[in-house]
Amino acid sequence: MIWNETMECMSREDLRKLQGMRLKATVEHAYHNTPFYRKKMQEMGVTPDDIESIDDIVKLPFTTKQDLRDNYPFGLMAAPMSEIVRLHASSGTTGKPIVVGYTRTDLGIWAEAVARCLCAYGLTKHDSVQVSYGYGMFTGGLGLHYGVENLGGTVIPMSSGNTQKQIALMHDFGAKALACTPSYALYLAEAIHDSGIPREEFQLKVGIFGAEPWTENMRRELEEKLGIKAYDIYGLTEVAGPGVGFECSYQNGTHLSEDHFYPEIIDPETLEPVAPGQHGELVFTTITKTGMPMLRYRTRDLTSLIYEKCECGRTLVRMTRILGRSDDMMIIRGVNVFPSQIESVILEINELEPHYLIIVDRKNNTDTLEIQVEMKEEFYSDEMNKILELKKRITSRLQSVLGIGPDIKIVEPRSIERSQGKAKRVIDKRVLY
């Protein structure tokens, strides 16, 4: 199902023309209304007249999270506060929060972008969606909320936490879809199992998971545990919130609504665009936002883009699964390690629960990598030598994937803290020194 066929299935040539026009209008708007952008462009010797087509985007300056912090709270607004009808702030996963403002038009665009996602997941106005992303300054809750209303579906505005009530209402109201972080979905799956309510009594068919990186193996785990089809939703506060990208039923990459949010992939070192299809840092320019437009915002998310038309009929570009943020990358004994690589391995091993904690430290001038992981209840009582054999198996598998050997600690079932929002799975003690 396609929500906005004109925009989602437009020929690439027409789309690029439209993007060019929208970019030009956005740059003009930003230049004349945001001193920060004007100054940056003047420093580079660029004026709005230099932007004629979407290819000219490379002439524009980049914007970083630091720029948003330096201009905290309202320095990047391009509309007077009388036009700003909503504020949000990033959850601050990586430091001091940043603030974004939306005009009424921006909110309409965002809600439509989320409605596109929901429609791609096969949802209609007949369906109810339990929104278990946090409500408040975080964009997850309200973002999904207005998307469901835009679709005409029924919102169950649960917000996160209160797990027992989540399950009771999901059951009683017959929620067809659940929107939350994949880590909270995992926690809910466990709690549903513990509740003793048979899974058949739930109407749940669709998972709308995002706001943090998750792996294919985690998808399978969630689909099996909840008896659903689990879809990716992608977004970030600086650009809008959830709904910048979504998976279609082919689940062959995450489509980006590039008629609103123009993506580029750059080499984070040289800042040059990478060759088509190559991995690098995702950069977005908003080309329809008026409250707080973003020019070439560096997301720090690492991915690649696929431009071929998708089997679903959409021409919207697809991005491959996000490896993580460049900030998530740990350098351990000189080797680059992403938490998502560790997750992939742990979820392949049958005896383990999908709950883990990564602890990085430095002892005797050497980096150490400890991975705590829970063993499934039915295996936990096994004899010592079986546990030792398992530890060896995990270590050697991780050694071959990561290139360094971790120290595995098998911990009691349910001893690792469960997440209700974005999971915190890495403790890097080295930063404390």
Please identify which residue in 67, 112, 258, 301 interacts with ligand ADP, judged by CB under 6 A. Answer: 301
Of 22-30, 196-204, 242-250, 274-282, which segment contacts Zn ion by CB under 5 A?
A: 242-250
CA dihedral for 133, 127, 247, 115, sign (positive or negative): negative
In the complex with ligand ADP, the residue whose CB is nearer, 31 or 246, is: 246
Three-state SS at 43: helix
In the complex with ligand ADP, the residue whose CB is nearer, 112 or 232, is: 232
For residues 258 and 245, the answer to whether their CB atoms sit within 8 Å is no
Shortest reach from residue 391's CB to ligand ADP, in Å: 30
Shortest reach from residue 276's CB to Zn ion, in Å: 18
Residue 161: CB atoms within 10 A of its CB come to 12
C-alpha separations of 216 from 180, 231, 256, 343, 347 in Å:
17, 11, 19, 10, 9
Three-state SS at 303: strand
| Residue 213 binds ligand ADP (CB under 6 A) | yes
Q: Which residues pair with 353 in a beta bridge?
A: none
Of 197-205, 235-243, 268-276, 409-417, which segment contacts ligand ADP by CB under 6 A?
A: 235-243
| # binding residues, ligand ADP (CB under 6 A) | 20
Indicate the helix (H) or strand (E) that contains 112: helix 104-120
C-alpha separations of 333 from 56, 363, 366, 403 in Å:
41, 12, 7, 10
Dist CA 52 CA 285 (whole Å): 15
In the complex with Zn ion, the residue whose CB is nearer, 26 or 304, is: 304
Shortest reach from residue 236's CB to ligand ADP, in Å: 4
In the complex with ligand ADP, the residue whose CB is nearer, 394 or 419, is: 419
Residue 125: CB atoms within 10 A of its CB come to 10
Please identify which residue in 232, 264, 351, 353 interacts with ligand ADP, judged by CB under 6 A. Answer: 232
Dist CA 15 CA 408 (whole Å): 50
Shortest reach from residue 172's CB to Zn ion, in Å: 34
> Interface mask (CB under 6 A) for ligand ADP, residues 317-356, using x and -?
-----x--x-------------------------------
Please identify which residue in 7, 310, 346, 357 interacts with Zn ion, judged by CB under 5 A. Answer: 310
**What type of residue sits at position 132?**
S
For residues 131 and 157, the answer to whether their CB atoms sit within 8 Å is yes
Half-sphere exposure of residue 262, counting CA atoms within 13 Å on the CB side? 27
| Residue 131 binds Zn ion (CB under 5 A) | no
Q: Which residue has the tokens 């004349």?
A: 32
Judged by beta carbon distances under 5 to 8 A according to partner kind, the member of Zn ion, ligand ADP, none in contact with residue 256 is none
Dist CA 416 CA 424 (whole Å): 11
Judged by beta carbon distances under 5 to 8 A according to partner kind, the member of ligand ADP, Zn ion, none in contact with residue 92 is ligand ADP
**What type of residue sits at position 130?**
Q
Judged by beta carbon distances under 5 to 8 A according to partner kind, the member of ligand ADP, Zn ion, none in contact with residue 405 is none
| Residue 305 binds Zn ion (CB under 5 A) | no
Judged by beta carbon distances under 5 to 8 A according to partner kind, the member of Zn ion, ligand ADP, none in contact with residue 234 is ligand ADP
Shortest reach from residue 93's CB to ligand ADP, in Å: 3
Judged by beta carbon distances under 5 to 8 A according to partner kind, the member of Zn ion, ligand ADP, none in contact with residue 248 is Zn ion
**What type of residue sits at position 145?**
H
Dist CA 273 CA 264 (whole Å): 7
| Residue 212 binds ligand ADP (CB under 6 A) | yes
**DSSP class of residue 279?**
-
Dist CA 181 CA 230 (whole Å): 11
Shortest reach from residue 245's CB to Zn ion, in Å: 11
Dist CA 72 CA 92 (whole Å): 13
In the complex with Zn ion, the residue whose CB is nearer, 105 or 252, is: 252
| Residue 91 binds ligand ADP (CB under 6 A) | yes
| Residue 217 binds ligand ADP (CB under 6 A) | no
Binding residues for ligand ADP, rule: CB under 6 A, are: 90-94, 139, 210-213, 232-237, 299, 301, 322, 325
Binding residues for Zn ion, rule: CB under 5 A, are: 248, 250, 310, 312, 314
